[in-house]
Chains A and B, each alone.
Chain A
Amino acid sequence: MNLNKVANQYSSVKIRGRPIRIIRPVSFSPLDLLRELRGLWHYRDLFYTLTVHRIKVRYKQSILGLAWAILQPLSLMLIYTVIFSVVAKVSSEGVPYAVFAYAALLPWTFFSSSLTNATQGLVSHTQLVTKVYFAREILPLTYVSAALFDFVVASSFLFALFLYYRVSITIYALWAIPILVLLATLATAFSLFFSALQVRFRDVGVAMPLLLQLWMFASPVVYPLSAVPQRLRGAYALNPTVGVIENFRRVVLQGVAPDFYSLGVSALLAAILLPLAYLFFKRVEATMADVI
């Protein structure tokens, strides 16, 4: 009744719910997470627009354009193939080393470029962060989804390699989809954490390339999981990217079921890390504009 009265009063009628928001000093409880996620949903269109924007801007005024998405993992593949299969002989579990490396470099590039770009995501948008409010997690998230787009483009080259080396794909390759979701979850968790940390400590961005390099060698990218000594495997699997990368290569390249133990560890870690990272991010977000 009351609403009708108000609506009639004004010529340009606004009949829609008026959200009531209470703003209080920072005190973030896990219960607020749900409310924040609802707020995030409101910005879904911004997420979409910004992701498209990232992709467009990256390839505008560049000659190679989309080919860059393939060139990055491809050039790494060439380097590692020379080092680890020509110079030093590393086991590649019976498949040509080039395919072996590319099948792991593909998810790894997605993960590492997500982190590299997302870490700078907030500080490179200082103008925006200090002028407008929107769910700030959108910024790092769009970098993850733009990297996912690159992943899709780059995986076309994997199929080309498969054809060339006559690798056959089995039904188990479908496992790649849930594995990819898991990897994206991990990338999101770490992106949120590092981008928020970068706001206060710029050291993070500087350290990132080094960290990612170490991280890659601590993951089964250029060597198979089987090359890791059995007694170290327990600790080794605590690296959340281990289960994901190894199993991605396993299902697409070897065409067998994933190793559920290592995959389970990764999934468990992702399930713990994502909410923690999000809580941390939201806490930093509250006063981000003051310190950025």
Chain B
Amino acid sequence: MIDLRLKTVSKRYRIRREVDTNSSFVQKLLLLRNRKEDFWALRDISFNVQRGEALGIIGHNGAGKSTILKLLSRITTPSAGEIMINGRLSALIEVGSGFHPELTGRENIYLNGSILGMLRREITKKLDSIVEFAELRQFIDTPVKRYSSGMYVRLGFSIAAHLDPDILLLDEVLAVGDAAFQRKCIQRIMELNKSGTTVVFISHDLQAVQRLCGRVILLKKGHIEADGDPTETIALYESSSRQLHAPERVLAGHGPSHEAVVTSLTFYDGAGKESLSFETGRPMKVTLNYEAYQPLEDVIFEVQFYSQENRLCSFFSSETLGEQIDLEAGKGSITFDCSSVGLGPGVYFVDTGIRNRLAPFGIDIDWRRRCLAVRIDYDRHLRDTFYMPYTCRHSVSHKKAQKVLVPHG
């Protein structure tokens, strides 16, 4: 069943040239007529969203993300095309934009709730749950002007989380609040999604999109650039934002050297199959092929994993081999074998390259920045951010207890 259908939707904005306040009245009147320039924020966008789907929409600033959001939430109307919405839709955009500082938390719940389309009796029924979720029980009769910004955000999200819509639109709302509350929000959205709510999530936060969405649309200058698997789409977005299609050769020091290049980098899963998605606690293998054009002494090969926030999370280095690697001119390969992936769930971007071990940091023979993206998923061993390999042993010293542990049948 289709919950949202966009059929060749376009949105045009008129850009008005600013009227110079000093110009004469006649000039202003003339300008009123022909000071317009057209700008198409969206051009012929078509896509469907199935019931229960969680769709992410990503793209650079100005790609048309927020315009889609505004169209779906009826804040503005399309210039052409047709949008079909099947069900009650709620948009959670910029938490707390309907709060009034003089009113108490309770009064604001009613005010904000009814702005978001809830009925009073609905709000009364959910009031306790809203207050509970926001963790604001003792401040609920305090004017919100005395709230901290964190409390403000919690209250705003809590109200929106209780809208109970058929279709939920989300903006960058999750980028606020403390980490614990953020996790709680994502949890709540996932629950809603699981119980059949269709979710459309528009965000810059790729990690959140990755976790939440089963499908991602990449927008570029008002067009759909890609639509499909989250990992691939996010990787495409990342590569387009970093011009990765032609991996840059970072050659510091002495001009364009043609000493050696990484020709390919391939990831394999535990079964030896080529793959870009792995599970925490499971094996991963990486093979790096290179070609050296001249003999090179004492080099190391590296594969680095970066989070979406550009933090180096982990890396493989041939330095751990314990012996010096000298290259002859010609081809070769290096394999890193990891028995259990320690990275937590998410998308990681991969750098790889060949460095001269003794050269000062930054002087590389060949370096490919963000040449691949790998996706790490949850596996049953892990519930949080990273994995520590361990074994577990159970010993019992009490005889009686031992009896209890004997399995039946």
Task: List residues of chain A with CB under 8 Å of any chain B CB.
Answer: 6, 9-12, 14, 18-26, 42-43, 45-46, 48-50, 53, 56-57, 60-61, 127-134, 286-290
Contacts and interface: CB of A to CB of B under 8 A. Distances in A.
B312 to A, nearest CB: 37
Interface of B: 1, 13-14, 70-71, 73-88, 91, 93-94, 97-98, 100, 102-103, 107, 110-111, 114-120, 164, 166, 195-196
Contacts of B81: 24-25
B103 A131 contact: no
A9 B98 CA distance: 35
Enumerate the 10 nearest inter-chain pairs by beta-carbon distance, A residue then B residue, closest first: A133-B74, A10-B196, A46-B114, A23-B83, A18-B87, A12-B195, A286-B77, A131-B97, A49-B114, A21-B85
A245 B101 CA distance: 38
A130 B75 contact: yes
A22 B80 CA distance: 13
Given A23-B82, A289-B75, A49 B110 contact: yes
B87 A49 contact: no
Contact of A18 (B76, B78, B88, B94): B88
A211 to B, nearest CB: 20
A132 B84 contact: no
Given A20-B87, A50-B111, A290-B14, 11 more contacts: A10-B196, A12-B196, A18-B87, A18-B166, A21-B84, A23-B83, A23-B84, A26-B77, A45-B118, A56-B102, A129-B75
Most buried by B among A10, A42, A133, A134: A133
Given A19-B88, A289-B75, A128 B115 contact: yes
Contacts of B75: 129-133, 289
B49 to A, nearest CB: 14
B71 A19 contact: no
Contacts of A48: 114, 120
A53 B103 CA distance: 8
B29 to A, nearest CB: 13
A134 B74 CA distance: 8
Nearest to A127: B97
Main secondary structure of the interface of B (DSSP, over half): loop
B76 A290 contact: yes
A9 B196 CA distance: 9
Contacts of A42: 117
Contacts of B110: 49
A50 to B, nearest CB: 7
A46 B115 contact: yes
Contacts of B195: 10-12
A45 B113 CA distance: 10
Interface of A is mostly: mixed
12 contacts: A10-B195, A18-B86, A22-B83, A23-B77, A23-B83, A25-B81, A26-B77, A53-B107, A127-B97, A134-B115, A287-B76, A287-B77
A23 B78 contact: yes
B114 A286 contact: no
A58 to B, nearest CB: 10
A24 B196 CA distance: 27
Contacts of A286: 76-77
Contact of A23 (B85, B97, B103, B196): B85
Given A42-B117, A289-B76, A57 B83 contact: no
Contact of A19 (B78, B87, B102): B87
Contact of B85 (A20, A43, A290): A20
Contacts of B107: 53, 56
A290 B13 contact: yes
B102 A61 contact: yes
Nearest to B11: A290
Contacts of A46: 114-115, 117
A19 B87 CA distance: 5
A11 B193 CA distance: 12
B166 to A, nearest CB: 6
A281 to B, nearest CB: 14
Nearest to A129: B75
A56 B82 CA distance: 41
Nearest to A11: B195
Given A12-B195, A20-B86, A132 B97 contact: yes
A53 B83 CA distance: 34
A56 B77 contact: no
B103 A56 contact: yes
Nearest to A23: B83
A131 to B, nearest CB: 4
Nearest to B110: A49
Contacts of A24: 77-78, 81-83
Nearest to A2: B1
A57 B77 contact: no
B120 A49 contact: yes
Nearest to B121: A45
B13 A53 contact: no
Contacts of B116: 132
A25 B78 contact: yes
A3 to B, nearest CB: 11
A43 B117 contact: yes
Contacts of B120: 45, 48-49
A131 B166 contact: no
Contacts of A127: 97-98
Contacts of A10: 195-196
Contacts of A18: 86-88, 166
Contacts of A23: 71, 74, 77-78, 82-85
B239 to A, nearest CB: 33
A249 to B, nearest CB: 37
A200 to B, nearest CB: 11
Contact of B166 (A11, A14, A132): A14
